[in-house]
Amino acid sequence: MSNDAIAPSTNMASFYLPYPEELAKELDASGFVMSTRRFYELLASETDDKKPVEAALFRRIASHYPDTFPDGEVINRDSQTNIIAELDDWDDLTDEQKIHRGNVNAAIANVDRIRYDLEMMIDSYDDTEEITRIRRELSKI
């Protein structure tokens, strides 16, 4: 097993960060794939408070890279930022599977709306702890 840094051959929207040899053996994994977009978004969030101009630049850079799944595969989205499935398998699904998929999509839409509402709220000192707790719980979802 080689721990040389490589870019995934599938899309160049991600890069590979190798683990040290002893950890790679312990974890039974050679490294970690990280989205280039996510990397710049993390840099932006880290510099938001201290250097907002630099954070804005990182966000502009991030916008030039596609979203990716954790394995590095590019996420295809439509004009409304919905994930486009590779196959349109709707006709092949059972009624139960269609209901489940609809419920999942509705739940995701609700969580996104709650996130949006939280971002639009004017933070007050009295609500800070509760809002922070809710934001953390949403990020886990």
pLDDT at 53: 93
From the first residue on, what is the mean pLDDT of each consecutive set of 10 residues in the chain (141 residues)? 46 78 86 85 90 92 83 74 69 84 84 78 72 77 68
Q: Which of 42, 62, 84 is the last residue of a domain?
A: 84
Parent domain of 48 = 1-84
**pLDDT at 61 (0 to 100):** 92
Query: How many separate domains does the chain show?
Result: 2
Q: Which of 84, 110, 131 is the last residue of a domain?
A: 84
Phi and psi at residue 115, in whole multiples of 5°? -60, -45
Q: Give residue 107's pLDDT.
A: 84
Q: Is 16 exposed, middle or buried (0-12, 13-18, 19+ CB in 10 A)?
A: middle
Same domain, yes or no, for 51 and 111? no
User: Residue 74's closest CA among 115, 112, 38, 29?
Assistant: 38
Shared domain check, 71 and 7: yes
User: Which pLDDT does position 120 carry in this prediction?
Assistant: 73
